[in-house]
Amino acid sequence: MTSDHSSILAIRSQFPVFERKVYLNSCSQGALSKRVEAAFGEYLRSWHEQGSPWDLWVEKYEEARGLFARFIGAEPDEVALVASASAGVNSIASALSFTERRKVVLGEFEFPTMGHIWLSQARRGAEITFIDAENERLTVEAYEPVIDRKTLIVPLTHVCFRNGFRMPAADVALDRACDKENPGGSSGQRLCCVASIGVLLFAIASAPAQTTPAAQTIVIRAGKLFDAKSGRLIGYRTQDVCTCVCP
């Protein structure tokens, strides 16, 4: 037995359900580990014994935020703990403006609540475009003719909840950011950065729509992405970020 195999078995032993089941519901609710169960018990005991020890709870919150930040190569202030991925995406969707750019491009493999969240932005002016899968796959080529100068954001789920397909998220973003002009004669617009949110990756179109090309330099400072000319915050850096100078 190799050391890698032993490590895998040691990790699996922390999840009692694995002894009886093949667990396939991680897209909705992860298997419960012994450590998480113990943490629940510790939380409930502190509630019983100390009433409402908010200082302790906030300390634990910040500890968890720091641990996850180190795990993904980010800074703690780049990490927000939310109830679910859906809650995190909802915060982003509701914060965007759909005035100059209205188009949101979604693949068929998004989790249902992702579609619900973005479709609900239609009342605020969002125009939602879905890309159909072919042979249970979504390709970079399927995105090429759809992403254009009107595109505000392209939410990409890295792994499909339905069939396990691994989306080439970085390829989609890099293809638009670094190589291709937009189809249909819309020169000068490219997607400029990729940011991770949980296991969700977003390609964000950050340059304003315009009739002539204009260079934009993206500056990384303290984990955040800024337009070098205006100083405007346009995104956040994570381990999976791609930045470029994009006309």
> Rounded CA gap, 152 and 122, in Å?
13
- 151 within a domain of the structure (yes/no): yes
> How much is the pLDDT for 58?
93
> How much is the pLDDT for 155?
85
Q: Is 205 found in the same domain as 192? A: yes
Helices (H) and strands (E) in the chain, counts: 7, 8
Is the pTM higher than 0.75? The answer reads no
Among 182, 108, 191, 177, smallest CA distance to 145 is for 182
> How much is the pLDDT for 10?
92
List strand residue ranges (DSSP E) for 38-119, in order.
103-107
- 205 within a domain of the structure (yes/no): yes
Q: Is 74 found in the same domain as 89? A: no
**Average pLDDT, 10 consecutive residues per value, the chain (247 residues):** 80 94 84 94 96 94 91 84 85 89 88 90 93 86 85 84 79 54 40 38 36 36 51 49 31
> How much is the pLDDT for 242?
34
> How much is the pLDDT for 226?
53
Q: Is 145 found in the same domain as 72? A: no
pLDDT (tens digit per residue) in 138-180: 888 888 888 888 888 888 877 888 888 887 777 776 555 444 4
> Rounded CA gap, 191 and 187, in Å?
12
**Coil/strand/helix, residue 181:** coil
- 71 within a domain of the structure (yes/no): yes
- 14 within a domain of the structure (yes/no): no
Structure tokens at 163: 């069939």
| Domain extent at residue 70 | 33-81
Structure tokens at 66: 């720091």
- 187 within a domain of the structure (yes/no): yes
